[in-house]
Amino acid sequence: MLPDYDSLAPATWAEALAALAAQPDVVPIAGGTNVVVGMRAGELRGRTLMDINRLPELHGIRVSDGHVVIGGGTTVAELLASPAITEHAYPLHQAAAAFANPLVRNRATIGGNLVDASPAADTYPPLLVLDAEVELVSLHGVRWLPLDQFVLGVNQTERRPEELLRSVRWPLAPERSAGLHHKLALRKGTACSVMSAAVRVDTDQLGRCTAARIALGAVAPRPIRAHEAEQSLVGESLTEVTIRRAAQLAGQACRPIDDVRSSAAYRRRVAEVVVRRLLTAVDLELKEGAQA
Amino acid sequence: MDKPKLNIVGQETRRKDGVARVTGQEKYTPDISLPRMLHGRILSSPYAHARIRSIDARPAEEMGAVVLTWDDIPHVRYNERIITVPSVLHKDHYVLADKVRRMGEAVAAVAAETEALAEKAARAIRVEYEVLPVLLDPSEAIKDGAEPIYDTAMWGTNEIPISGNIACTRNVEEGDVDQAFAQADVIVEGRFNTQKIYHAQMETKSCVCRPEPDGGLTVWPTTQSIHNVRILLGQIFDIPLSKIHVKKVPVGGTFGSSIQMNPPIPICAALALKARRPVRLTLTREEDVHDHTRYAGEIHLKLAARRDGTLLGAEMELVGDIGAHNIQAYSYLGVSIGWLVSLYRLPNVRYHGTAVYTNKAISCAMQGFGNPQVTFAAESLIDELAEKLGMDPLELRLKNYVGLGDTFWGQGPTVRSVVLSDGVPQLLHRGAEIIGWEHRPKPGSQTGRYRRGIGLGRGFHTSSAGAPQPGDVIDFSGAMVKVNTDGSVDVVTALMDHGGGTLEAIAKLVAEELCVPLELVNLAPAETGSTMYDCVTHATRGVYAGGGAAVKAARQVRQELKETAARFLNVMPEALDLRLDKQSGQGVVYVPSIPDRRMTIQEIATRCWTESWKTIAAAVSFRPTNCPPAYVNVFVEIEVDTWTGAVRTVMAAMGSDCGTVVNPVMAAGQLEGGLNKGAGYALFETNEWNADGQVAGGGYWIDAKTAAIGETPRLADFITHFADTWEPTGPHGAKGIGEAATNPVAAAYANAIYNAIGVRFYELPITPEKILRALAAENASDPH
């Protein structure tokens, strides 16, 4: 059952920011797929809920100035249906497809998923490999933060109470780049991740890796990048040996816990397997792209 | 036996409630709203084991809520499930907790004008608890010095002490077991562990109660038995049954969770009686998850066999974790040995069963009532035995299974009958052909990343708990059939439909018997006052026993139609027959030798009305005197990913011997659902408890992990098939199907995994993690 709460429904963006600045315990609510569940469990994050669904500033997916920009209120279902996301952010498309179920996808938003900052949040690994940044807006101004700096720990981010996450953006990928995402759960739909991973590899004309991104979910208190694994690939071609080494390093980067879904040991083990599988698939895709 | 030709039974038909269910127009208990209705909420215990020192209800009452505490309820100890006969029924439950024994147990309850106010009022009640040590593991609970969960319970009319937290025990010994094992050429044995899982029925438990001016009650509950709810409310509140009206409300699935009277029902009744206003009380999902699970336990099984594969005997020891209350532990211990001896001919058997209380959600029947657990153990061991003997596991099963002419006591030692229909050989051979049994790999012979295996599990469930003589299980049904003035037919039955189409089947069986089109048969709204007693819709008995009652009533109506028409037509009733005239869409009573001497059922019924004569009707009770096994076998082909431990179902072939198939598409649906639920049980579903006695995940469904549609193989890779049999004691040759469909599934998966990777698992669920651990251990011990 829900505890008592007050509600606000600002009609304009300015009104919303003013309400946040005036009352520190206002909780913005979009899809409510985390906030309401938390309230039912007795975790009241604030006494006043502010409905931000109808603010036009939070909507829209567009490609401009070499970036993809999406409003923080974009639902996961909208991501899934967007041709721009499929084309320019395929790992995010995959994560959206594996996200909960159609009912939750219709409600849950990208901004909510990022601000909630669950270690298992599905959209973090793909956005981390895409080099995404988040736009935080308050009455005091606007600031952009790389996603890797935005997230701090379990349900903790750099967002200040008076800020709203207005949009997320990332640069269009260069040529000869490919990325993929995979979510491992105990069943196919409506499931929280045991672990998830996204990888992205940029290559030069000779097929050597110029930059690599490997991000992992549900293996640490926050979604992480496996920097050593990424570095091990730079300057190398993707081969069975380099892929295996990178996957091992990615496994070592994990700091997982035992919980209801999995043991820590299993998470570390499958992280390695999943990264190896993703890098192998990315390699195949790059080679096919080179031939075409 | 020659099978009669059937006109309606066996056809694919659309279920009568289908449109209402899929368009959201069906009214379930939480949809019911009455004038002046209050909203109830339960104050649940935040502790799993505690004494209640004091309750201060004033803050809630000051908010205007009606509050129910221990002082307001009748201090009557009862058992929520009254299928076991009263003389051996254990009773340890009150309307509200005398002491808290599981997390979420109802300590108090409130009713208020809105649900929000009720919630606020419930939270305002001040309770002082004396927290006690929490016992989660049966092996801890039975230790000397363990905190007693109960001091006493009622057994029949006697108060008995409970010691060592043992709720009850049951021993069975037949033949000479020691001699059987002494003479055996081969002995196999294993300790099998199974887990508690949540039923995950769609509708949470719910109730609406209205107090009546005469001191009675009208009740709209979530239940599988309106009559047993009525009896229990009568006993608890000391109200004559004639003043208690329990309505039949469509139920949103149960999987067995509402065989017993649900805790919200008597609480809602007590609130309504105290408030003198109608009250609705619905559990949240989190409350429901803490309320009930499948029985879990350890089964130590030993089988003795001769070199030629003949089974000589078995020894079984079962320690069951029944959770915080004893709902049907005595029956559960009884059926558990029944499942074993009715799977395979075991002339010599020794069994010791122990049911242990713990501070966890209450164990109760769930799809199979102990059968999936025993079948997992037995079918795993039969495969091990086949390997030791160098026999084909399928041949070993055919050699020993309980089939035609054998004595069968699936529902426990007192429920014995003889098998009269047996499709097992057909099913096994057909399934083997579909899955490619001959081409299955040798266990442990594969080395690649992906390894495939084929596994077989066979099993059954009882159709009802019927037997020639009364035992310790109450099992009989009733039905009323009447012909309306236009020749259409009302069927009135207390049976429930949990989603499998039981009531649809009843309508078809009556239509068949009376030769009337199915659309003219109405399943009338029903309540306790308008129906004959029916024990409960469980034990895969709906079609067989409930249908048996309906056909018995319809047969009497058929006879009365003939006798009535005989007078109108001036012929002898014996000279008349009935048929469905497809041209007019009417049932016709006619004289075969004189074609124009005929009347439609409509003409007969209308004339009975306009000539002020009578309603043609029959009301009967029916006790099945047999308990035919509904056999199912399942072959699965799976693929193990040895890198992640994940198991994928590549293909499944599932065969059922349900006698006459009443509706082929719905019967296939039962098998598909059975595989799905069984696969979840086999591979990943489990409820775990943290040290405080809370379900891990807090009761949120995100971590309940019941199998969803994505876990079912594509229908192209999932073949269902049916045996060509006729059950002579069944309604138009039919037996049951429901629970049988899930009983052998976990065993089939365990056997398939062994076939793929050469590792046998004795504990469910067989998670990816356990598979990886086992493979790692194997590699470590492998000198190569």
| pLDDT tens digits along A82-118 | 999 999 999 999 999 999 999 999 999 999 999 999 9
Q: How far apart are CA B94 and CA B360, in angstroms?
A: 17
Contact call for A273 and B644, based on CB within 8 A: yes
Q: How far apart are CA B619 and CA B532, in angstroms?
A: 7
Contacts of A187 in chain B (CB under 8 A): 680, 684, 705, 707-708, 710-711
Check residue B1 and give its pLDDT. 55
CA atoms within 13 A on the CB side of A178: 21
Contacts of A266 in chain B (CB under 8 A): 645, 768-769, 772
Pick from A249, A267, A248: nearest CA to A257: A267
Pick from B116, B119, B705: which is nearest to A186 by CB? B705
Contacts of A108 in chain B (CB under 8 A): none
A41 contacts chain B (CB < 8 A): yes
Strand, helix or coil at B311?
A: strand
List the 594-653 stretch of B: residues with Cβ below 8 A of A. 643-645
Q: How far apart are CA B776 and CA B686, in angstroms?
A: 23
Which of B43, B196, B643, B647 to substitute to test the interface with A, most A CBs within 10 Å?
B643
Strand, helix or coil at A142?
A: strand
Which of B647, B705, B709, B712 to substitute to test the interface with A, most A CBs within 10 Å?
B705
Number of inter-chain CB pairs under 8 A, A vs B: 57
Check residue A292 and give its pLDDT. 66
List the 703-742 stretch of B: residues with Cβ below 8 A of A. 703, 705, 707-711
Distance from the A257 Cα atom to the nearest Cα atom in chain B, whole angstroms: 14
Strand partners, A142: A137
Q: List the structure tokens of B596.
A: 């124009």
Contact call for B711 and A188, based on CB within 8 A: yes
Strand partners, B674: none
List the 103-122 stretch of B: residues with Cβ below 8 A of A. 115-116, 119-120
Q: Pick the more confident residue, A292 or A161.
A: A161
Q: List the structure tokens of A242.
A: 């380099």
Q: Which residue of B has its CA nearest to A185?
A: B705
Contacts of A41 in chain B (CB under 8 A): 698, 700
**pLDDT over 60 at A229, yes or no:** yes
Could you write out the DSSP letters of every residue in B362-392? EEE--SSTTHHHHHHHHHHHHHHHHHHHT--
Radius of gyration of chain A (CA): 19
Contact call for A263 and B700, based on CB within 8 A: no
Calculate the dihedral angle through the C-alpha atoms of B357, B372, B678, A257, rounding to the nearest 10 degrees.
Answer: 40
Contacts of A7 in chain B (CB under 8 A): none
Which of B286, B288, B769, B770 to substitute to test the interface with A, most A CBs within 10 Å?
B769
Q: Tell how far CA B79 is from the center of its chain.
A: 18
Distance from the B299 Cα atom to the nearest Cα atom in chain A, whole angstroms: 25
Q: Tell how far CA A264 is from the center of its chain.
A: 22
Q: What pLDDT band is residue B452 in, cutting at 50, 70 and 90?
A: very high
Pick from B411, B425, B422: nearest CA to B727: B422
Q: What pLDDT band is residue B781 in, cutting at 50, 70 and 90?
A: low
Check residue A188 and give its pLDDT. 85
What are the backbone dihedrals phi and psi of residue A189, each rounded to the nearest 5 degrees, phi first? -120, 165
A292 contacts chain B (CB < 8 A): no
Say how many C-beta atoms besides its own lie within 10 A of residue B466's C-beta: 27
Pick from B431, B420, B381, B501: nearest CA to B747: B381
Contact call for B710 and A186, based on CB within 8 A: no
Contacts of B116 in chain A (CB under 8 A): 1-2, 4
B179 contacts chain A (CB < 8 A): no
- B32-132+199-292 maps to CATH 1.10.10.10: no
Pick from B226, B231, B223, B228: nearest CA to B262: B223
B22 contacts chain A (CB < 8 A): no
Contacts of A277 in chain B (CB under 8 A): 643
pTM, rounded to two decimals:
0.93
Distance from the B576 Cα atom to the nearest Cα atom in chain A, whole angstroms: 59
Q: Mean per-residue pLDDT for B554-568?
A: 98
Distance from the A184 Cα atom to the nearest Cα atom in chain B, whole angstroms: 9
Q: What pLDDT band is residue B783 in, cutting at 50, 70 and 90?
A: very low
Q: List the structure tokens of A245.
A: 């080494």
Q: With contact defined as beta carbons under 8 Å apart, do B460 and B342 qualify?
A: yes
Q: Which residue of A has its CA nearest to B676?
A: A187
What are the backbone dihedrals phi and psi of residue B410, each rounded to the nearest 5 degrees, phi first? -55, -35
Contact call for A1 and B767, based on CB within 8 A: no
Contact call for B768 and A269, based on CB within 8 A: no
According to CATH, the topology of domain B18-25+476-622 is Aldehyde Oxidoreductase; domain 4 (3.30.365)
Q: With contact defined as beta carbons under 8 Å apart, do B642 and B451 qualify?
A: yes
Pick from A1, A4, A263: which is nearest to B769 by CB? A263
Could you write out the DSSP letters of every residue in B129-165? EEE------HHHHTSTTPPPS-SEEEETTEEEE--TT
Q: Mean per-residue pLDDT for B176-187?
A: 98
Pick from A1, A37, A186: which is nearest to B684 by CB? A186
Q: How far apart are CA A36 and CA B392, in angstroms?
A: 56
Strand partners, B189: B302
A36 contacts chain B (CB < 8 A): no
Distance from the A92 Cα atom to the nearest Cα atom in chain B, whole angstroms: 21
Contact call for A266 and B711, based on CB within 8 A: no
Pick from B644, B684, B702: which is nearest to A184 by CB? B644
A192 contacts chain B (CB < 8 A): yes
What's the order of all strands across the beta sheet hosting B521-523?
B521-523, B489-492, B477-483, B617-622
**pLDDT over 60 at B784, yes or no:** no
Q: Which residue of B has its CA nearest to A269?
A: B644
Domain boundaries, chain B: 18-25+476-622, 32-132+199-292
Angle between helices B768-781 and A264-291 (to 10 degrees): 90
pLDDT per residue as tens digits for the range B322-346: 999 999 999 999 999 999 999 999 9
Strand partners, B208: B220, B280
Q: Which residue of A has its CA nearest to B285?
A: A1
Q: With contact defined as beta carbons under 8 Å apart, do A271 and A254 qualify?
A: yes
Q: With contact defined as beta carbons under 8 Å apart, do B76 and B239 qualify?
A: no
A42 contacts chain B (CB < 8 A): no
Check residue B48 and give its pLDDT. 97
Write the single-letter amino acid at B301: L
Distance from the A248 Cα atom to the nearest Cα atom in chain B, whole angstroms: 14
A4 contacts chain B (CB < 8 A): yes
Q: What pLDDT band is residue B571 in, cutting at 50, 70 and 90?
A: very high
Distance from the B772 Cα atom to the nearest Cα atom in chain A, whole angstroms: 8
Write the single-letter amino acid at B226: I
Calculate the dihedral angle through the C-alpha atoms of B625, B629, B630, B632, rounding to the nearest 10 degrees.
Answer: 180
Contacts of B702 in chain A (CB under 8 A): 190-192
Check residue B568 and give its pLDDT. 97
Q: Mean per-residue pLDDT for B563-568?
A: 97
B696 contacts chain A (CB < 8 A): yes
pLDDT per residue as tens digits for the range B675-725: 999 999 999 999 889 999 988 878 777 676 788 888 888 889 999 999 999
Check residue B691 and give its pLDDT. 92
Check residue B782 and give its pLDDT. 54
Lowest mean pLDDT among B16-30, B45-59, B201-215, B460-474: B460-474
Distance from the B180 Cα atom to the nearest Cα atom in chain A, whole angstroms: 44
Q: With contact defined as beta carbons under 8 Å apart, do B80 and B365 qualify?
A: no
Q: Which residue of B has its CA nearest to A100?
A: B702
Could you write out the DSSP letters of every residue in B348-367? EEEEEEEEEE-SSSEEE--S
Contacts of A192 in chain B (CB under 8 A): 702-703
Beta strands in B414-536 (DSSP E): 417-418, 450-462, 477-483, 489-492, 521-523
Measured between alpha carbons, how far apart are the two ends of chain A, in Å?
57
Distance from the A278 Cα atom to the nearest Cα atom in chain B, whole angstroms: 14
pLDDT per residue as tens digits for the range B114-147: 999 999 999 999 999 999 999 999 999 999 999 9
Q: How far apart are CA B512 and CA A248, in angstroms?
A: 67
Distance from the A81 Cα atom to the nearest Cα atom in chain B, whole angstroms: 21
For chain B, percent of residues with pLDDT exceeding 70: 99
Check residue A239 and give its pLDDT. 96
A289 contacts chain B (CB < 8 A): no
B20 contacts chain A (CB < 8 A): no
Q: Is the peptide bond before B765 cis (omega within 30 degrees of 0)?
A: yes
**Which helix (H) or strand (E) is A165 found in, with range?**
strand A164-171
In the predicted model, what is the mean pLDDT of chain A? 95
